[in-house]
Structure 1
Amino acid sequence: MPVFISYRHMDRPQAMAINSQLMQANIKTYLDVLDPESQTTDDITGVITRNITECTHLLAVVSEKTALSWWVPFEIGEATISNRRICSFKTGPTQLPAYLDKWPKLSTPADVDFFIDAYRSEGTIKRSMTLDSVTGNQSTRSANKTNAEMFHEGLKNRIRRGF
């Protein structure tokens, strides 16, 4: 159940901090800067798309600089098509685009801890998170979508409560 970390390269320090926090919690991550293939290929779109489909979660680091990026919205779109669990991590005082309201918005290391708890909870209760949510049958796609929505709502509620 890897987590794909999406970010604009100007936000690399925040992405690396989140990556470290997740790795300390024994959560496997994908961060393009740590992937030699993404540094040496002419088909970066194919590499990114493949890695999103091999992850169950996408965490997008969003700042005022993200508005100038084509990649972060593309990666969120790819994750949406695949019914992945999606969250944003807001850095700084920037106003997030309204389309991100659909998913949980993290903004502190404590919120990332809530994400970690929700991630682990899905594994504990064995909630379906198959990687074939695009190519699978209608029943599988529907179950993945429902389970992703449950993850999103549960995490949003936990962030609102603050504990």
Structure 2
Amino acid sequence: MKVFISHQSADSFTAKKIADHLQHFHGIPSYLDVIDPYIGMRGEDLAAHIRTQMGQCTQLLAVVSYNTASSQWVPWEIGVATGRDYPLATYANSSVPPPEFLRKWPYLRSVPDLDRYAVASKAAWNLLLQKRPYLHESTARQDSTQEFYRMLRRSLNQ
């Protein structure tokens, strides 16, 4: 299991705190591009690099804020993750819910919500590992992703 943390560069501090928390308290690794030397690439080269990095991850957590409105990459990364049937969630420090189109996925607002996310992520990952030998990969992924959403939404009262 590995989380791709999607964010606009102005939200790098928050994204780094999330990555550190997931690794330190839950043992969940992540990909975070704030330290990535490929960030200066041209658009199509960067897109290929990001797709490669996403291919090494199993889910996506998008950090959203007012800064996200100016990002072309966060919506693109969400689209790629959706196409791969990755479990998706958003994280915002605001008490205001995310925009309507992002409420399709569970949204986190605090460190305790991030802990709930970690629990649901591990449960979905374990389910995927259990189902893989018996089901086609895409079916196993769909089942585990739906379990992730069910479990996380229930724990977040969404």
TM-score w.r.t. the length of structure 1 is 0.83
Aligned to 2:60: 58
TM-score (norm 2): 0.86
The one-letter code of the counterpart of 1:34 is: I
Alignment match, 2:37:
36
- Deviation, 1:92, is 2.3
Structure 1 CA distance for aligned equivalents of residues 77 and 125 of structure 2: 24
Structure 2 counterpart of 1:133: none
Question: Which amino acid letter does the alignment assign opposite residue 89 of structure 2?
Answer: C
The answer to whether the 8 Å contact 1:89/1:105 transfers is: yes
Partner of 1:118: 120
Q: Report the alpha carbon displacement of residue 39 of structure 1 after superposing the two structures with TM.
A: 4.7
**Post-superposition CA distance 1:16-35 (Å, at most 9, x none):** 11011011021111001122
Number of equivalences:
154
Q: Which runs of 5+ in 1 are unaligned?
A: 131-137
- 1:87 and 1:80 mapped to 2: Cα distance? 11
Contact 1:88 1:103 in 2 (8 A): yes
The one-letter amino acid paired with 1:153 is R
Assess, with a 3 A threshold, how the Cα gap between structure 1 residues 122 and 89 changes in structure 2: closer, same or farther: same
- Identity among equivalent pairs (%): 32
Partner of 2:10: 10
User: Cα 1:125–1:145, aligned 2, differ >3 Å: closer, same or farther?
Assistant: closer
Question: Considering only aligned residues, what root-mean-square deviation do their CA atoms show, in Å?
Answer: 2.3
Q: 1:149 aligns with which of 146, 150, 155?
A: 146
Task: Note the residue ranges of structure 2 that are not aligned, 5 or more in a row.
Answer: none
Q: Is the 8 A contact 1:128 1:144 kept in 2?
A: no
